[in-house]
Homo-oligomer: A and B are copies of this chain.
Amino acid sequence: MEFSSKLLENAVYEMSQLPGIGKRTALRLVLHLLKRPETQTAQLSKALTALREDICFCSNCHNISDQELCEICSNPKRDEATVCVVEDIRDVMAIENTGQFVGHYHVLGGKISPIEGVGPQDLSIAQLVAKVKTGKVNELIFALSATMEGDTTNFYIYKQLQGIEVKTSTIARGIPVGDELEYADEVTLGRSIVNRIPFEGSLRIS
């Protein structure tokens, strides 16, 4: 792509550095901004810069927060003895939306992935182990993605916790609610039979 303007070329280049945004999409976005009032671009730039410069991470759960302690960790009604281990803030938001969990979270900041160069030292695993060692945590719920990286991370943390007395559990894998059996993949269907639960248990959540 040849541009008639260095300013335009530069803006398109920076925009195309975002994931999933190629040169063509970047050009479309940048041209859209050019058609809009100058304030829109100014607000976007300001919001991004402010986020990057002033963002904090909760000192307890490592979630994104505006304060030293996030709203969940500073809420006295939440159960700090039950800690749900998740990858990032999107998972916290997803679980919060269910309204089914009243414990604390621990945000790892990713999962172990040798291919992407992410090792245990890049995640907040040491802090999690330290938190469990204080003895205040009764149960650790692993809620990472059901992928190889997620399972590896689960297992790594599990190994690190050997010798420390804490209950560990993982969220249930099975047939999504509302799905037909015939469309489920074999691994999921197989797991859902092996890990079947008492029928009374399935009535708990309506």
Contact = CB atoms under 8 A, between A and B. Distances in A.
A43 interface: yes
Interface stretch (A64-72, A138-146, A180-188): A64-72
A21 B28 CA distance: 12
A18 B65 CA distance: 25
A71 B4 contact: yes
Contacts of A55: 5, 7-8, 34
B2 A93 contact: yes
A30 B47 CA distance: 10
A64 B17 contact: no
Interface string A131-172: 000000000000000000000000000000000000000000
A8 B44 contact: no
A204 interface: no
A24 to B, nearest CB: 8
B13 A47 contact: yes
Contacts of A50: 7, 10-11
A92 interface: yes
> Of residues A4, A49, A89, A92, which shows the largest number of chain B Cβ atoms within 10 Å of its Cβ?
A4
Contact of A90 (B11, B17, B31, B93): B31
Interface of A: 1-8, 10-11, 13-15, 17-21, 25, 27-35, 38, 40-55, 58, 63-66, 70-72, 88-90, 92-93, 96-97, 110
20 contacts: A2-B96, A4-B58, A4-B66, A4-B71, A4-B92, A5-B66, A10-B51, A11-B47, A11-B48, A17-B44, A18-B32, A18-B44, A19-B28, A20-B25, A20-B29, A28-B90, A33-B48, A33-B52, A34-B55, A41-B48
